Amino acid sequence: MASKQTKKSEHCSKQAALLLKATYKTCLVLLVFLCLFCKKRDVWTLVDEGLYFADFDISSPIPFNDVIITIFKIDPHIYEFYLLTISEHGHPALTMPEWCEHYNLIGAINAGMYQEDMLANVGYLKNVRHINNAHVNSSHHSMAAFNPVDSTDVPFYIFDIDDYPADSVIARYHSVVQNLRLIKRPGENRWSESNKRWCEAAVGQDKKGDVLFIYCRAPLTMTELNNALLSLPINIACAMHVEGGQPASLCFSHPRLTRSYSGTNETKFDSDGLAFNATKIPNIIGFRQRSKP
């Protein structure tokens, strides 16, 4: 009797071992499948080498108002950035689609808020030898710098100038623009609480160093926007405010994808291809692909 019970116990143990092994294999296959599925479900859409796009639909703090944050991610080692101003180039202000067409740019966004003269940036701005505004604004703590003096330096970087002196940034880079800070490195919401809401154009950078052109047409407080950006799977490290309200503009023109926004609206074009509901902007940051050696 004991022998039968022992054999039965051994049989049960073998069955349990086989079941455990089968369960392990099933879990392993499921894990691999989930990994592959998640990889396919990447939040970014590849537009071109080093160039990505995503629309993020977030929970709206305002009833009956859809909130979509549009972001373009740009590798600054593959794409070259340009700081273009009408004060340097001597032509009238242009809509963002006109800037892209005139200078053969893939994408463009506001360089920053401008003064009443419709020429000067509110914060410091220089492009090589051209000085648009020589004054470093004490309340603006972000500086975007690109086109380094030393070609081996980082091609694009947003500095927190309360940690890194503005003079040092200006000496290191040919193109520098100063703006209000939204997010401080390495991911800290630094906008003061306020109930004011507007649509927003912003420039950010992720922890890898890719540049982020950010646009939100829905009116949010900047605290709400920052919290949303920090919660998204984009590894954002920092961001600066470049414009809000009707002057906020973004244009992206690529054979595989086009987008154009001005204020709360998607840009509309007439029969001649001219944007008739877009604001004319005096200063922009644009980019196009670097020339291959």
Q: What is the pLDDT along the chain (293 residues), one digit of tens a residue?
A: 445 555 555 555 555 455 445 544 443 333 333 333 333 348 999 999 999 999 999 987 776 578 999 999 999 999 999 999 999 999 999 999 999 999 999 999 999 999 999 999 999 999 999 999 999 999 999 999 999 999 999 999 999 999 999 999 999 999 999 999 999 999 999 999 899 999 999 999 999 999 999 999 999 999 999 999 999 999 999 999 999 999 999 999 999 999 999 998 766 656 555 555 689 999 999 999 998 77
Q: Are residues 26 and 81 in the same domain?
A: no
Instruction: Give CA–CA dist 256/68, Å, rounded.
Output: 21
Q: Are residues 170 and 102 in the same domain?
A: yes
Q: Are residues 269 and 201 in the same domain?
A: yes
pLDDT for position 272: 58
Q: Are residues 65 and 168 in the same domain?
A: yes
Give the list of residues 6+ apart from residue 96 with CB closer than 8 angstroms, or none.
108, 109, 249, 250, 251, 260, 262, 267, 275, 278, 281, 284
Q: Are residues 36 and 53 in the same domain?
A: no
Q: Are residues 78 and 211 in the same domain?
A: yes
pLDDT for position 66: 81
Q: Are residues 116 and 206 in the same domain?
A: yes
pLDDT for position 18: 54
Model pTM score? 0.84
Domain count, the chain: 2
Q: Are residues 218 and 258 in the same domain?
A: yes
Kindly tell me the burial class for residue 256, based on how many C-beta atoms sit within 10 Å of its own C-beta (0-12, 13-18, 19 or more): exposed
Q: Which residues pair with 147 in a beta bridge?
A: none
Q: Which residues pair with 73 in a beta bridge?
A: 52, 212
Tell which residue, 180, 220, 214, has the closest CA to residue 196: 220
Q: Are residues 28 and 52 in the same domain?
A: no
Give the list of residues 6+ apart from residue 232 with CB closer than 8 angstroms, or none.
43, 56, 58, 69
Q: Are residues 176 and 50 in the same domain?
A: yes
Number of helices followed by number of strands (H, E) in the chain: 5, 19
Q: Are residues 162 and 23 in the same domain?
A: no
Q: Are residues 35 and 49 in the same domain?
A: no
Determine phi and psi for 220, rounding to 5 degrees. Answer: -130, 160
Task: Provide the residue range defining the domain that includes 37.
Answer: 1-41
